[in-house]
Amino acid sequence: MRRLAVLRHDVPASLVVFLVAVPLSLGIALASGAPIVAGLIAAVVGGVVAGALGGSPLQVSGPAAGLTVLMAETITTFGWAVTCLITVLAGALQILFGLSRVARAALAISPAIVHGMLAGIGVTIVLGQLHVMLGGKAQSSALENITRLPGQIVEHHGAAAMIGLLTLAILLVWPKLPSVVRKIPGPLAAIAVATVVSVVAGLTLPRVELPGDLLQIRFTPQLPDGGWAQIAVAAITIALIASVESLLSAVAVDKLQNGPRANLNRELIGQGAANMVSGAFGGLPVTGVIVRSSTNVAAGGRTRASAILHGLWVLVFVVALAGVLRSIPLAALAGLLVHVGAKLVNPGHLRQVLRHGDLPLYLVTIGGVVAFDLLTGVIAGIVLALLLMLSRTVWTGIHVEEHGGEWRVIVEGVLTFLSVPRLTKVLGTIPAGSKVTLELVADYLDHAAFESLSAWQQAHERGGGTVTVDEIGHPWFAKGKEGRPTVRRTAAARAVPRWLAPWSAWQAGDMPVPRQRTHRGATEFQRRAAPLLKDMLSDLANAQQPHTLFITCGDSRIVPNLITTSGPGDLFTIRNIGNLVAPAQADPSMNAAIEFAVGVLRVREIVVCGHSSCGAMGALAGGPPKDSALASWLVHAEPSRHRDGPVTLGDGRPDREVDRLALHNVLQQLDHLREYPLVAEAEARGELALTGLYFDVGAAQVYLSDRATGAFVAAGAPAAAPAGG
């Protein structure tokens, strides 16, 4: 079966990838300033060695455009033979990276830097290959290419420019042609047409140069006379960049297919072995290449056999048809590289970078690569990333507000010694003797900041003022007045979520006067919640469309929106003593509410919510005072006392009678709801669901009723039955 899969899927896929790889390998070698055959050697070795040993089965490796700038600099500095040695050393480093299992660490480099690096490489390739496409030669730097380009354009290079522009035009038009035509890879078609035109027209052009006998190639690495420190830097740079590019390509390939995921450490070992072999035989460095890999997946490759076979096809083609390769004009390869380089400047990547606010990283990396070199650009991007991370990490927001003679100082973020001068300045604007609330939303508070706050608090209170500390999150300053810092986070002092922090239960100190508590709560809402909810509430200002009618007890411990994770506009709520539903026509208020919710708002669910330790159920069990309003109301709960059969809660029954009665009461009120014609009709049509809910206050556990069994099942439990009426 495996052999059939190889024959049926991998052989055709390998042929398609091979047709894409040959022109790209030749062009990359040209752009790197390496012998043309070095690109073909790298394609063969990348396919066979990396394909067999790598950890990403469908990834196809070979010479990559992402290394052209670095390789051009390396070849210019050290010569070709020593560059082959550097490639071998880089491969050995990659193997060490893989064995030490640090592959995922390479992915810590910001995508903005990677995209900026690729875009910078693309710009550099385009600037250099435009000269070759016009019949000239690429200069030694991108800036020099820019300054000399106008002169190159005005010079007469008619034949070369025509072939280069023809190649570029075919590549641009190819994706718009019918799918039958596009089965031939665009790069192959462009190079083939340009070559045929140049040969038929008899044009005299610089063409690909290959050794007479390709099988006698002996580009063995050569030891240098000195400069080992520079060689080490070059090897490390090539190893790092090739590793990052290969790993990112492997991750991208995983997203394109549903087969086995890549083993990134093994992939580094495979890439390292391929680079050692490629360098030893005089080839360019090898990386995983997303263009060839995505082509492999799209063409139907299923196993690593497609990558290996593509390398073998390259070898066979080079040996058997070397004469055809010698006919390819360099201007055609330059046109192909201009197209490849332009595609490296990906607008989609730029939009992604903009969304994440990392445009400075992208631009600095591009600028460094184009103006200086690849290593400088990447290092500049990494340094800026670290500075931005430090800036975001140590950011502190400090501002002060005054209302009716009372002052509030808000401090957010990481409060360290860097913020002390500004903190001191802000605190110095507060009048002596005033009432101050110090609101701390601090992720961290260091020694200097703690001392500054503590000293100011003590001084302000000695001057007749008062300071109330309102600390949201971890209590870094809880004992600041006594000068006792909280040094580190502990399990016993967990941070309170910000949406819980304004609750009175989380606040320090008591506020015995109800008006003060209400005033403070309203103020907290306006300051913290209102800005977040304003847009949503503006949409609800003129109409409501709740999905649920929620009938529950008036007990202060029951917060419907909290236990159902819902917000404004979600629940149409009725609260009364004992979460009771008076029989139809027995209570005008209940009749009106149900009629409005079901008939007008057309809610899709009605929930009756009971709870543990319910005072109404306690009164019902013990008998409420006679002739009282409570006794008159609890008449509607009397049937709950006489329901047959036990009701289970989770795996058992509640220990207390009042809680067992609360469960029966929820089910009884659902029965009362079905006596309302409007409710019964909507439920019969499948437009309305009735759900019983029970909240165990002490355990903070929600239970939902199962209509088929009458049992209450814990919400979120693995075996929980679907909620029903």
pLDDT, tens digit (0-9, with 9 covering 90-100), for 282-315: 999 999 987 788 778 877 788 899 999 999 998 8
Q: Identify the CA nearest to 159 among candidates 378, 331, 400.
A: 331
The answer to whether residue 325 is domain-embedded is yes
Same domain, 417 and 329: no
Distance of CA 191 to the CA centre of its chain: 39
C-alpha to C-alpha distance for 152 and 145, rounded to whole angstroms: 9
CB atoms within 10 A of CB 193: 16
The b/e string for 636-670 (b: 16+ C-beta within 10 A; e otherwise) is bbeebeebeeebbbbeeebeeebbbbbbbbbbbbb
Q: What is the CATH number of the domain that holds 489?
A: 3.30.750.24
For tokens 């907290």, the residue is 524
- Whether residue 723 is predicted with pLDDT greater than 50 in this model: the reply is no
C-alpha to C-alpha distance for 342 and 63, rounded to whole angstroms: 18
641 or 486: which leads in pLDDT: 641
Among the residue ranges 180-194, 563-577, 580-594, the one predicted with the least confidence is: 180-194
Select from 344, 375, 407 the last residue of a domain.
Answer: 344
C-alpha to C-alpha distance for 550 and 562, rounded to whole angstroms: 13
The b/e string for 205-238 (b: 16+ C-beta within 10 A; e otherwise) is bebbebeeebeebebebeeeeeeeeebeebbebb
Same domain, 100 and 164: yes
Question: Per the structure, how many domains does the chain have?
Answer: 3
C-alpha to C-alpha distance for 341 and 123, rounded to whole angstroms: 6
Length in residues, the chain: 725
Is residue 84 a contact partner of residue 219, using CB atoms and an 8 Å limit? yes
Is residue 96 a contact partner of residue 151, using CB atoms and an 8 Å limit? no
Question: How much is the pLDDT for 642?
Answer: 86
Q: How many CA atoms lie within 13 Å of 92's alpha carbon, on the beta-carbon side?
A: 10
Q: What is the pLDDT of residues 139-189, one digit of tens each?
A: 777 788 888 888 877 776 688 889 989 999 999 999 899 988 888 888 888
C-alpha to C-alpha distance for 49 and 69, rounded to whole angstroms: 24
Question: How much is the pLDDT for 98?
Answer: 92
The answer to whether residue 386 is domain-embedded is no
pTM over the 0.75 mark: no
- Whether residue 494 is predicted with pLDDT greater than 70 in this model: the reply is no
The answer to whether residue 704 is domain-embedded is yes
Select from 303, 322, 344 the last residue of a domain.
Answer: 344
C-alpha to C-alpha distance for 453 and 435, rounded to whole angstroms: 16
- Whether residue 516 is predicted with pLDDT greater than 70 in this model: the reply is no
C-alpha to C-alpha distance for 597 and 575, rounded to whole angstroms: 14
Same domain, 613 and 495: no
Q: What is the pLDDT of residues 120-133, one digit of tens each?
A: 878 888 888 888 88
Confidence bin at 235 (pLDDT 50/70/90):
very high
Confidence bin at 483 (pLDDT 50/70/90):
low
% residues pLDDT > 70 (the chain) = 89
Same domain, 579 and 672: yes
- Whether residue 518 is predicted with pLDDT greater than 80 in this model: the reply is no
- Whether residue 508 is predicted with pLDDT greater than 60 in this model: the reply is no
- Whether residue 721 is predicted with pLDDT greater than 50 in this model: the reply is no
Same domain, 597 and 455: no
Same domain, 496 and 643: no
Q: What is the CATH number of the domain that holds 617?
A: 3.40.1050.10
In degrees, rounded to 5, the angle at the alpha carbon of residue 463 between the alpha carbons of residues 458 and 466 is 65
The answer to whether residue 362 is domain-embedded is no
What average pLDDT does the structure give for the chain? 85
Q: How many CA atoms lie within 13 Å of 226's alpha carbon, on the beta-carbon side?
A: 0
Residue 532 corresponds to which amino acid? Answer: L
Confidence bin at 492 (pLDDT 50/70/90):
very low
Same domain, 558 and 505: no
Confidence bin at 119 (pLDDT 50/70/90):
confident
Helices (H), 345-373: 347-355, 359-371
Residue 412 corresponds to which amino acid? Answer: E
Q: For 22-47, what is the mean pLDDT?
A: 88
The answer to whether residue 126 is domain-embedded is yes
C-alpha to C-alpha distance for 166 and 189, rounded to whole angstroms: 11
Same domain, 655 and 571: yes
Q: Identify the CA nearest to 356 among candidates 59, 579, 687, 115.
A: 115
Give Cβ neighbours of residue 336 (< 8 Å, ≥ 6 apart): 23, 24, 27, 167, 171, 187, 190, 191
List the structure tokens of 532: 């977040």
List the structure tokens of 242: 């090739």
- Whether residue 560 is predicted with pLDDT greater than 90 in this model: the reply is yes
C-alpha to C-alpha distance for 641 and 646, rounded to whole angstroms: 12
Question: How much is the pLDDT for 685?
Answer: 94
Same domain, 467 and 575: no
- Whether residue 21 is predicted with pLDDT greater than 50 in this model: the reply is yes
Give Cβ neighbours of residue 635 (< 8 Å, ≥ 6 apart): none
C-alpha to C-alpha distance for 196 and 167, rounded to whole angstroms: 11
Same domain, 563 and 681: yes
Same domain, 131 and 29: yes
The answer to whether residue 353 is domain-embedded is no
Question: How much is the pLDDT for 506?
Answer: 55
Distance of CA 483 to the CA centre of its chain: 42
- Whether residue 510 is predicted with pLDDT greater than 60 in this model: the reply is no
Domain extent for 462: 394-509
- Whether residue 328 is predicted with pLDDT greater than 80 in this model: the reply is yes
Question: How much is the pLDDT for 135?
Answer: 81
The answer to whether residue 106 is domain-embedded is yes
List the structure tokens of 306: 């497609």
The answer to whether residue 388 is domain-embedded is no
C-alpha to C-alpha distance for 311 and 286, rounded to whole angstroms: 12
List the structure tokens of 419: 């913020």
- Secondary structure class of 221 (helix, strand, coil): coil
Same domain, 496 and 563: no
374 or 462: which leads in pLDDT: 462
Is residue 336 a contact partner of residue 342, using CB atoms and an 8 Å limit? no
111-133 and 347-355 helices cross at what angle (nearest 10)?
Answer: 150
697-702 long-range contacts (CB < 8 A, ≥24 apart) are 697/557, 697/558, 697/611, 697/612, 697/613, 698/612, 698/613, 702/563
User: By CB neighbour count within 10 A (0-12 exposed, 13-18 middle, 19+ buried), where does 461 fall?
Assistant: middle
Select from 344, 361, 386 the last residue of a domain.
Answer: 344
